[in-house]
Amino acid sequence: MTRISSDQQQQIEDLLRSNELSCVAIGKLVGVSATHVTRMRRDMRLPQRCTENRAVPDDFAEQYEALRTIRSLIKHYVASGETIKRWITESGLDMPQPRFTHKTPIPEDWHERAGNMTRTDALHFWKVTPRILDRWVADTGIKLRRFRNPQSILGRMGRRPVQVVRQDQLNTIDRAAQFLRRFYGCVHRADLKIYESGRETWGSQRGLPRDGAGLYNLSGKIVPAEDLLVIAEKHGWEERI
């Protein structure tokens, strides 16, 4: 429930008794909701404000063409819906169609491109809302691709996906990094790509030289690959030939 001061209450009561402004206009003037003003008018047992004599504004036809919806016209003229509809009729204009009749059309290249796009790709490419995109999918039956990125740095819950890698597939630096994961919560190359098909890397996001190439993240500390070997050796690691 809206809380107002005694001064606001008195001001609203005076304006309601004068019957010169609508509840919407009074609410904007006093700084309260129109619903609250309407409730006060009902509690005061005052009749609804008569708007039948409010003449059609001189610029109504122009604003009708610019705004196109009854809701926009109500807001612009601070008038009721009934008044706006009367003005439209008296001006000989067509009543605006409901919003659902103004659907965003399906793009001409939708059938050609959509099947090769993920949901995120489609939203960015056509610059529409998720609701519009879902309607296009439902209307055409074309399914968007599922997003799969096994190379992503972060998996669910913000953790790096666990991958089983054989020791003979790793170079010396990789083996040292894998050893250090026993002692540090996060160890990875700084030039890992954020997205498999993109160019952005973990290092480029943080402004590292050469996008992080030749560097490693050691639980928040950035170290060169050579230093990683030294740190691993201090923890007891040794290269087995």
60 and 121 together in one domain: no
Q: 191 lies in a domain?
A: yes
Predicted confidence at residue 152, as pLDDT, reads: 43
117 and 85 together in one domain: no
Q: pLDDT tens across 2-35, in order?
A: 678 888 889 888 888 887 777 777 888 888 887 8
When pLDDT is averaged across residues 32-56 and rounded to a whole number, the result is 78
Q: 98 lies in a domain?
A: no
Predicted confidence at residue 160, as pLDDT, reads: 45
Q: What's the distance, Cα to Cα, between the start and end of the chain in Å?
A: 77
Q: 79 lies in a domain?
A: yes
Does 203 or 152 have the greater pLDDT score?
A: 203
**Which domain covers residue 35, as residue numbers?**
6-90
The total domain count for the chain is 3
66 and 43 together in one domain: yes
174 and 203 together in one domain: yes
Beta-carbon contacts of 91 under 8 Å, excluding residues fewer than 6 positions away, are 56, 60, 61, 64
62 and 114 together in one domain: no
The DSSP code sequence of 177-238 is HHHHTTT-S-EEETT-BSSTTSS-BHHHHTT-GGGGTTEEEETTEEEEHHHHHHHHHHTT--
Q: 240 lies in a domain?
A: no
116 and 164 together in one domain: no
19 and 52 together in one domain: yes
26 and 64 together in one domain: yes
Q: 80 lies in a domain?
A: yes
132 and 208 together in one domain: no
Q: 115 lies in a domain?
A: yes
Asked whether residue 241 carries a pLDDT value surpassing 70, the answer given is no
Which range has the worst mean pLDDT, 30-44, 47-61, 104-118, 163-177? 163-177
Phi then psi dihedrals of residue 142, to 5 deg:
-80, 130
When pLDDT is averaged across residues 137-154 and rounded to a whole number, the result is 66
When pLDDT is averaged across residues 62-90 and rounded to a whole number, the result is 84
Give percent above pLDDT 90 in the chain: 5
CA–CA gap between residue 29 and residue 81 (Å, rounded): 20
Q: 147 lies in a domain?
A: no
112 and 170 together in one domain: no
136 and 169 together in one domain: no
112 and 45 together in one domain: no
Q: 207 lies in a domain?
A: yes
When pLDDT is averaged across residues 80-93 and rounded to a whole number, the result is 86
Contact indicator for 185, 219 with CB cutoff of 8 Å: yes
Asked whether residue 180 carries a pLDDT value surpassing 80, the answer given is yes
